[in-house]
């Protein structure tokens, strides 16, 4: 990709991020808290279900028609996929993001091993095991004054720890129907996602209005990793078949 194209793509991404942040700041505290609780609900469909019929074709079992069920809770009734592995990778939300602590708590209390980022200098990829919200510690701001997510107090795991995860939740400012995701801008998750195992389910998390009902709507580059599904406080949609 030429430097001019790369520069244009980067500028478009930055503009979309500014617009997203401006709208996110209109969300009140009560709405934000409720959004975190409803975000966690679809996690129940991604945990092992002993009643699942093993003869059902998995590709058909979790398929969701984007044209049906406009209500988010009704859509969730169509999500049925058993993922038996016990490790998930997620992230600790910050600022205007949809709160993820309820999701992390749900996974943790249902005996999932949950990995969350350890940012180090902000560029190094590392992970740590989530051991409940009481174990989280606040982190100092970056050198430029930016906020950083909380981190567990436990030991830091290598970047390759994400290879254990069958589900990976990543933050997004926008996601389109092809799974193209607008991230925070540092490229941390794109580097991390390259280390995922091939069958890992990558789920982008954003506010409902940030799911764009169009193809190729999010500017992206060849190194950007698309997500397989999107989770919002109102909806959970599969975008890509594995």
Which residue ranges are tagged as binding site for ATP? 181-189
Helix axes of 29-40 and 101-109: crossing angle, nearest 10 degrees: 30
Which residue, among 7, 27, 166, has the nearest Cα to 87 in the 3D structure? Answer: 166
CB count in 10 Å sphere of residue 198: 5
Q: Nearest 10 degrees: CA dihedral of 8, 9, 12, 14?
A: -110
Structure tokens at 71: 């209500």
Binding residues for substrate: 92, 97
Q: How many beta carbons lie within 10 A of that of residue 151, not counting itself?
A: 21
d(CA 227, CA 15): 21
Using the 8-state DSSP alphabet, how is residue 158 labeled? P
Residue 216 dihedral angles phi and psi, to the nearest 5°: 55, 35
Q: Which residues of 56-81 are buried (b: 16+ CB within 10 A; e: fewer)?
A: eeeeeebebeeeeeeebeebbebbbb
Annotated binding site: 92, 97, 181-189
């Amino acid at each position: 990709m030429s430097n001019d194209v790369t520069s244009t793509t980067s500028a478009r991404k930055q503009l979309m991020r500014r617009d997203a942040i401006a709208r996110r700041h209109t969300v009140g505290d009560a709405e934000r808290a409720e959004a975190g609780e409803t975000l966690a609900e679809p996690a129940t469909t991604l945990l092992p279900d002993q009643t699942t019929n093993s003869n059902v074709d998995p590709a058909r079992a979790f398929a969701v028609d984007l044209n049906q069920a406009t209500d988010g809770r009704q859509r969730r009734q169509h999500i049925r996929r058993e993922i038996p592995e016990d490790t998930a990778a997620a992230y600790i939300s910050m600022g205007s993001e949809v709160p993820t602590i309820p999701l992390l708590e749900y996974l943790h209390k249902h005996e999932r091993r949950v990995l969350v980022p350890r940012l180090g200098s902000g560029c190094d990829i590392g992970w740590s095991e989530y051991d409940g919200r009481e174990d989280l510690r606040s982190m100092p701001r970056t050198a430029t004054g930016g906020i950083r997510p909380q981190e567990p107090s436990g030991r830091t795991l290598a970047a390759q720890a994400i290879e254990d995860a069958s589900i990976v939740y990543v933050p997004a400012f926008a996601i389109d129907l092809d799974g193209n995701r607008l991230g925070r801008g540092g490229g941390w998750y794109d580097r991390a996602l390259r280390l995922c195992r091939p069958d890992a389910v990558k789920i982008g998390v954003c506010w409902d209005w940030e799911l764009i009902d169009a193809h190729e709507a999010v500017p992206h580059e060849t190194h950007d990793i698309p997500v397989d599904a999107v989770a919002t406080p109102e909806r959970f949609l599969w975008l890509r078949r594995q």
